[in-house]
Amino acid sequence: MRNILKLVCFFLITIGIIPKEVQAASFRDLTDDTLLTEIHYLVEQDIVRGYSNQLFKPNDFVTKAQVAVMLTRALGLNTINIENPHYQDVTSANQYYKEIAAVQNKGIFDASHKFNPDAPITRGEMAIVLNRAFLLKGSDPYYFTDVTEQTRGHKEILTLAHNHLVRGYGDGAFKPNDPVTRAQFSAFLARAMTLSKPHLLKDPAFVYTYAYYSLSDNKRYTLSYQYEQHDGKNDVWTVKNVSTGQTFSNELLYGHDRAYGQAIAGDANTHYDLYMELPLRVGVILHEDDPGVTAGERVTVKSTNGTVQAGEVQYTGVIIVEKRSEFSNVVKTYYFVDDIGLVKEMHNDLVVFELLNRTMK
């Protein structure tokens, strides 16, 4: 009977600490939807969980022990054959002992006298552990007003910025000593897990054939896309109606190591219909309040490893991008495949473009 009571008590304690999973979309306290995609991703992966009363508690500070648990789940670390990290404040009786030992054994957290499992992790510490966990590369001279070479985690912070995992604050600060909230760490972790640098341009060696639904005349066409030239900035693709030979406006595709853009040559506007900085990761990559010609738009990467049916092909590893505008109720969804390019585009529930086939020239 005593063992049963112990088991019941342990079960009740566990519910309070590692709460029952709920769908991210149903969390009642996620009033800011800018991090919803990342949080939903982690919920689907069973890496982070909400509470049974439909609360996520996004503004609670995440502790170092909780970070250890999330990283262990995200990386699939072994928690069976582990070495004692010899932290004075983390004994084998600690409920998170195995996860803390696992991340220390992996070199994600330093060996030291104490781990401070209940202490909030700071933004600077977060940058260090994410870099170690995911072996992130690259660094730009990204300017944060409060990050210098003397800042602990200086290089790691710049690497996160280079990979678009962090943006900093409106005043140009990173605030490396501020504690990280539950929502913030969920976002940073999901972005690191889904980081991708795909090649989104069409392949000039192929002729692309698309099914196209014209919103201007509500007619369906079969279009042929063929590479014509590089105009010094963009790849220029000629577009023709397969049945009649009628010529449509050229498509312009901009490809760079750090950006991708697509536009229609005949459009009156001078900016790209879709423009994204690379690498990509899940979450909002362009906000409505960002300055420039794209002001009023929100671009969200919904997946960097999705699936989609286009023509008779089931594609995997698909980049799924959603674009919304304050000036329209049309939600545009783009599906890209690495080294192939756009395979499908939808406006709300309507398929506008769908790749039928590619043939070598």
Which residues fall within 8 angstroms of residue 292, CB to CB, at 6 or more apart?
Answer: none
Q: Are 361 and 316 in contact (CB under 8 A)?
A: no
Taking the C-alpha atoms of residue 211 and residue 79, their distance in angstroms, rounded to an integer, is: 51
- Measured in degrees and rounded to the nearest 5, phi and psi for residue 124 equal -65, -45
Taking the C-alpha atoms of residue 259 and residue 251, their distance in angstroms, rounded to an integer, is: 17
Q: Which amino acid is at 39?
A: I
The distance from CA 104 to its chain's CA centroid, rounded to whole angstroms, is 26
User: Which of 117, 120, 136 is closest to 128 using CA atoms?
Assistant: 136
Q: Which amino acid is at 236?
A: V
The distance from CA 25 to its chain's CA centroid, rounded to whole angstroms, is 17
Strand partners, 295: none
Q: What would the DSSP string read from start to end of 74-134? A: HHT---SS------TT--TTSTTHHHHHHHHHTTSS---S---TTSBPBHHHHHHHHHHHH
Q: What would the DSSP string read from start to end of 201-261? A: SPPTTEEEEEEEEETTTTEEEEEEEEEEEE-SSSEEEEEEETTT-PEEEEEEEEEETTEEE
CB burial string 90-123: b at 16+ within 10 A, e below = beeebebbbbbbbbbbbebbeeeeebebeebbbb
Which residues fall within 8 angstroms of residue 339, CB to CB, at 6 or more apart?
Answer: 198, 199, 203
User: Which of 164, 194, 201, 192 is closest to 338 using CA atoms?
Assistant: 201
Which residues fall within 8 angstroms of residue 104, CB to CB, at 6 or more apart?
Answer: 85, 87, 110, 111, 115
Q: What's the residue count for the chain?
A: 361
Q: CA gyration radius for the chain?
A: 24
Cα distances from 311 to residues 48, 64, 225, 268, in angstroms, run 36, 48, 16, 31
Q: Per-10-residue mean pLDDT for the chain, 361 residues long?
A: 38 36 68 92 91 89 97 97 96 97 97 97 98 94 90 96 92 96 97 97 98 93 97 96 94 94 79 93 93 88 98 97 95 98 98 98 88
